[in-house]
Chains A and B, each alone.
Chain A
Amino acid sequence: MNVKKQITKLGLSLIGPIAIIVILTMPIGPLAGGLGILQPIGGIFDVGLDVNERTEQTVILPGLDADVEVIVDQWGIPHIYGETKEDVFKAFGYMQAKDRLFQMVMQNYLAAGRISEVVGAYAASSDKFQRAIGLVKSAEESYQWCLDNADTNEDVAYTLDVLDAHVEGINAFIDSMTSATTPIEFKILAFTPEHWKPVDAFIWAKMMTWGLSGSYIDLYRQFIRTSLNNDTMFDELIPDTMPYTVPIVPEQYDLDINLYPNAPGGLPASATPPSALAEVISPDDLISGEKLESLINAMSDSIKYFGEMEFIGSNSWAVNGSRTSTGRAMLANDPHLGLQAPSLWYEVHLIIPGELNIQGGSLPGTPGILIGHTEQMAWGMTNVGLDVMDFFVERVNPANSSEYWYNNEWRAFEIRDEPILTKEGQIIEFNVTWSVHGPCIDSVLNVYGIDSESAPNIAMNWTGNGVTHELIALSMLNRAENMQDYFDALYMWDGPPHNFIYADDAGNIAITVAGRFPIRAGYTGEFPIEALNDSVGMVSNVPYAYNPRSVNPSQGFLQSANQLSIDPASYDYDLLGPQAPGYRGRRIHQLLNVNDDVTVQDMKQYQADVFDIAADRIIPFVLDAWEAIDEDNSSVQEIVTILEEWNNEMETDLIAPTIWTYLLDTIKYETFDELWSAGISLRYAFTPLLEEWLRNENTYYFDNHETDGVVEEMDEILVLALHRALDEMTSDLGTNMSTWEYGNHHIVYIDHLASLTFIGGEGHRGGSHTLNVGPGWTVSHGPSRRMIANFDDTTTFFATYPGGQSQNMFSPHWDDLFNLWYTYDEVQETYGYYQEYTYTTAAAFVAADEADAEIQMIECIITFIP
C-alpha cells in the first residue's frame, strides 16, 4: 500500500474520533456538559463516591491558627470546635460549601442578576429584573459601610473578621474540589464556580431583604383602586387591618429613648409621632393602566426565592415559666417560606470554649445563624409584612427624557450600565435608570415588550435600598447572652421588618417588631405618587426604642403569625399594612390562653396543629343557610352532612377538608363579585372580611350586583356557593367521592433548585389557615424549619426542616430531615424532630457517643489542620 493511500486511510480514521468527541462534548438542552459526563470516573457517577464519608478525615485548611475539630453528627450537622472565631468560621465556610456550594452559587447569581451565566440566555429576563431592583449596588454600599466603620465599631470589626474567615473557608473548599466533591449540577451545567467574595454574603442578605419585604402592594392597590373606581368600596375591601385579629404585642414596652435615640441601623428618628396626615389624594392616572399591569406582571413573574409574598408567613410563640410545666421559658418557631431542595436552611453548631456557643439554622453563604440559640437564650423570627416600599413617579423633562424634576430643578437620571453575560458567551446590553428615590423598576419593561418608547420613571423607594446592617445585627445576636444583648443586636436590624421572639434561661420572654419603619410625609404610602421635592417621602423613622415590643407580658405568653403588630389605637405611629389575615395568630392565642401547664409535647403538637379556625367560624353559617333554604338536593345534602360531622381538622384522610377548600373559594366567588367583575383577582378577597360580613349579615356585599333587579341574601349566596363547590369538585375530581380525600390532592412537593428532582409528592396535612400551614393544592410553601427551645434544668432544643444537610441527592442526608418533618405520629400527634447535641467540647461529644452504644451520634470527625 502506498503512502498516499495510508494517509487517506489515516484521514478517514480521524472521522470517527472527531465525531464521537463532538457528540460527547455537544451541549444537549440543559446538559451543557455534554454526554461525556456519563463516563464512570470524572463524570456524574463520582458524586456517589462522596456519599460515603470516612469516619475520620484530616483536611488541610490554610491559614488556621490551630486545629479545628468538626464532628458531623448522625444528621449530617457539623459541630465545629475551634479556639478562635477566625478558625471556627473558616471551617464553617468550608463545611457550608462542601454541603451546599451549588445552592450558594445559584442563589447569589440569581440575586446578582447573573443567572444567565449559569443557565443561559433564556434567563436574561430574570437577570434584568434583578439588576433593575439594584440589590448588588445596595450590597456593595452595605459592605463598604462596614469597611469604613470597622475601625471605630467593634461589632462591625467582629462581623468583618468572621465574614472574611468564612469566605476563606468557602474558597478553600472550591480550591480543593475533586470530581467526587463537585456538585452534580455543576457537571451537568458544565459550570466552574468562581471564588467567593465578602460582598456575596451582603448580596444574599439583600436578597433575603427583598424576598421578605419587597412587596409591590402599592401597585396592586393602585390597580384595584382604579378598577373599582369607588374609594369607599376600596377602603372596605382592602382594609389596613383585618377584623378579629389578636395583635402580636399585647402590652407595649418602650426602651429608654436616651439609650436608643435612633431608628434601627442608626437612622434618624422622630421621638415625637407626627401629627395625623391630612387627607392626601393620590392621583390615579400617574401610571397608565397598561404600564401598571405590565409592571405588576413583571414583578409577579420574577423569581421568588423565599416564596410568594402572600404565602410568606411564620409562627412563633414563647411561654414564660408561669405557664409551663417546667416553670421555665419555652419558645417555638416555624418560619413559613418557599420549600426547596436543598433547603434554605443549613444547620450548624459553632463553639469557641468560653466565648461562643451558637446553634441553629444558617442561610448557606452567610456567616452566622439566622434562627437558633446560644447557651442562654433562643430567638425565632416571623415576617412582619408591613409596607416599607413605595413607588414614586418621576416627572420626566418633556424636552429631555434623561432628566426629572426634583427640588425645583431638572436633574439627570443616573444610568447604570448593566451588561448581562450569558453562558453562550453573548453580552446583552442593559441599563438601569436611577433617580434620587431609587432604581426605576420600569427599566425592565422593554423585556416584556410594552412601553419601550417611554423613559423609565417609576422609582422604587424601599427601606432595603442602600446601606442596611442585617449582618451586623445577626452577628451580635449570635453572641447574645441576655435580653440586653438582644435589644442591642436588634438596634442594628434595619432590614426586612421581622418579629424577633425571645426566651432565655432566666425565664424572660419578649418580642420585638424589629426593622425600620418609615415616617412618611406628603403621602400615605398606599399608592404610587409624585415626589417633586424632599418634603415628600420617607422623611424620618420610628425610633427603635418605640418599635412595637412586648416583654414579659402579664398574659404569660407571646405569639406572632404575621398578623397585626399592635392595636393602632394604642400606638402613636402609623404602620402601613395590610398584614396576614390573622387566623394562625388567633389559633395560637386560643391554644396558649387555655393552657397554663405547657409542655414540650404541647409545643410540638401545636406546631402540628391543623385545626382550621376559619372553617370553624364560617361553616356554621353555611350549614344554617342550607337548613334555612331547605332545598331538596341529595348531592348537596351529602357534602353538607360531611361538613356537619367534620371537626375542622385538615387531615389528609378526610374528604371534608377538600370540600371546605373548594367551598371557601366558591363563597368568595359568590360574595366578592365586586372584585372579579372589575377584573381583580380573588386573592384579594380576604377571609376575615367574609367572616365579618357573615357575622353582621352584611346585605350589601352578599347581594350579587351582577344580577340586575335581584337582591340576593346571605343564605341564598351560601347555598349557591355549595352548589358551585359541588359542581367544581365533580368536574375536577370526578363523581367518585372516595377519591376526594384531601391527601390525594393536597400534596407537598419540594422542587430541586434546578428542577432535576424533588422531595415529597405525598399528601400534606393542613391548609392556608392552619398552624401547620399548607397553602394551595401543591404545597411548595410551608414550615421551612421547626424549632423548639426548652430552658429547663436540662436545656433541650428540638429542630427539623424539610430537606437534609447535603446537596447531594444520593446522600442519606439529602432528605433525612424531611422524613422527620413529614412523618406524623398519630398517637403523639406530633411530627418528628431531632434533639440537638449541645456538647461544649469535642471530647465530651466523643465520650458521650462512645458511652451510648445504641445510638450512633457521630457520623464522622473532620480535623482541619493548618
Chain B
Amino acid sequence: MTRIDDTFPDVGFIPTVIIVTIVGIALQLSGAWITMLLAGMFGALFTRSYLKSFLAGFFGAAAAWGLLYLYLSLTAQASAIAEFFIGLLGLTGMGWLVFVIAMLFGGLLGGFGGGLGRSLYELVDQFAGTSTPTEMPEPTDE
C-alpha cells in the first residue's frame, strides 16, 4: 500500500495556503461551513508537520472567506449586512469586526481540519508501512 505522504509531495507552506484558499472557495460555494474542515484536511496532504498543516489550513480558509467577503461586499451588500449583524449586539460602525470574527472561525475550521488531516494521514501511513524508494526504471541500452 502506498503511503499518503509518498503520493502527495510537500509543496511548502505558501503553496499549501494557496491550495487551501482555492479549495476553500470552491467548497464554500456549497453553502456549508463545515467543508472548511475538508479544505484544511486537503491542504494537510501537502505539508509534513502538524503545525504547518494547522497554519496552512488556518490562513488558507481565512483567506478563502476573506476573498468571498470582499466579493460580496463589492456585489451584494456584505458590508451593510455585517453592520446590521453587529448592530444586533448594540455596536455600530464595527461591521469589519464581523468579518474578522467570521474569518477567525473560518480559519479555525481550516486549521483544525489541517491538523486533523495531518494526524489522520500519519496514522494511515503507519499502517501502510515504511517508505519505499520509488523504483527507477533500469537504464537500457540504446
Contacts and interface: CB of A to CB of B under 8 A. Distances in A.
By CB atoms of chain B within 10 A, which of A7, A41, A757 has the most? A41
Contact of B119 (A13, A20, A756): A13
Contact of B81 (A6, A23, A35, A47): A47
B18 interface: no
B85 A38 contact: yes
B76 A45 contact: yes
A20 B105 contact: yes
Interface stretch (B7-15, B109-117, B132-140): B109-117
Nearest to A2: B126
Contacts of A46: 31, 76
Given A20-B108, A36-B33, A43-B33, A10 B78 contact: no
Contacts of B29: 41
Contact of B72 (A2, A31, A48, A756): A48
A51 interface: yes
A272 interface: no
Nearest to B123: A6
B122 interface: yes
Nearest to B88: A756
Contacts, number: 119
B1 interface: no
Contact of A10 (B82, B101, B105, B120): B120
A41 B28 contact: yes
Nearest to A20: B108
B130 interface: no
Interface string A114-134: 000000000000000000000
B81 A49 contact: no
A123 B133 CA distance: 68
Given A17-B113, A38-B98, A42-B30, A24 B105 contact: yes
B23 interface: no
Size range of the chain A interface in the assembly: 35 or more
A486 B118 CA distance: 76
A841 B68 CA distance: 42
Nearest to A756: B88
B87 A757 contact: yes
Contacts of A39: 28, 31, 33, 65, 102, 105-106
A52 B71 CA distance: 14
B31 A45 contact: no
B45 to A, nearest CB: 15
Given A20-B105, A810-B80, A41 B68 contact: yes
A295 interface: no
Contacts of A41: 28-31, 68
A760 to B, nearest CB: 16
A13 B108 CA distance: 12
Contacts of A179: 31
A51 B77 contact: yes
The B interface, classified by DSSP as helix, strand, loop or mixed, is helix
B116 A13 contact: yes
B34 A21 contact: yes
B35 to A, nearest CB: 9
A10 B125 CA distance: 13
A449 interface: no
A44 B85 contact: yes
A810 B81 contact: yes
By CB atoms of chain B within 10 A, which of A2, A21, A46, A48 has the most? A48
B76 to A, nearest CB: 3
B72 A45 contact: yes
Contacts of A52: 75-76
A787 B50 CA distance: 68
A53 B50 CA distance: 46
B127 A3 contact: yes
Contacts of B123: 3, 6-7, 9-10
A14 interface: yes
A1 interface: yes
B85 A16 contact: no
B20 interface: no
Contact of B112 (A20, A35, A42, A184): A20
Given A1-B122, A6-B123, A42-B30, A48 B76 contact: yes
Given A1-B122, A9-B119, A48-B76, A40 B69 contact: yes
Given A20-B105, A36-B33, A39-B33, A45 B113 contact: no
Interface string A9-39: 1101110110111011000000100011011
By CB atoms of chain B within 10 A, which of A6, A14, A36, A45 has the most? A45
A674 B109 CA distance: 69
A40 B68 contact: yes
Given A39-B65, A757-B87, A810-B81, A6 B122 contact: yes
A177 B111 CA distance: 32
A809 interface: yes
Contacts of A1: 122, 126
Given A39-B65, A41-B31, A17 B37 contact: yes
A52 B68 CA distance: 17
A17 B112 contact: yes
A385 to B, nearest CB: 38
A258 to B, nearest CB: 61
Contacts of B112: 13, 16-17, 19-20
Interface string B82-106: 1011011000000000100110011
B82 to A, nearest CB: 8
B33 A24 contact: yes
B105 A38 contact: yes
A46 B32 CA distance: 12
Contacts of B82: 45
A45 B34 CA distance: 17
Nearest to B77: A48
Contacts of A20: 105, 108-109, 112
A341 to B, nearest CB: 13
A23 B85 CA distance: 17
Contacts of B120: 10, 13
Interface string A239-263: 0000000000000000000000000
A40 B33 CA distance: 9
Contacts of A184: 81
Contact of B111 (A2, A16, A47, A810): A16
A3 B126 contact: yes
A317 B5 CA distance: 83
Contacts of A756: 84, 88
Contacts of B72: 40, 45, 48-49
Nearest to B111: A16
B119 A51 contact: no
A38 B80 contact: no
A281 B122 CA distance: 91
14 contacts: A3-B123, A6-B119, A12-B119, A13-B50, A13-B116, A13-B119, A17-B113, A19-B112, A20-B108, A38-B105, A39-B65, A40-B72, A51-B77, A810-B77
Interface of B: 28-34, 37, 50, 65, 68-69, 72, 75-78, 80-82, 84-85, 87-88, 98, 101-102, 105-106, 108-109, 111-113, 115-116, 118-120, 122-123, 126-127
Interchain residue pairs A-B with the least CB separation, the first 7: A42-B31, A48-B76, A16-B112, A40-B68, A48-B77, A38-B102, A39-B33
Given A38-B85, A44-B81, 4 more contacts: A6-B123, A38-B101, A39-B65, A48-B72
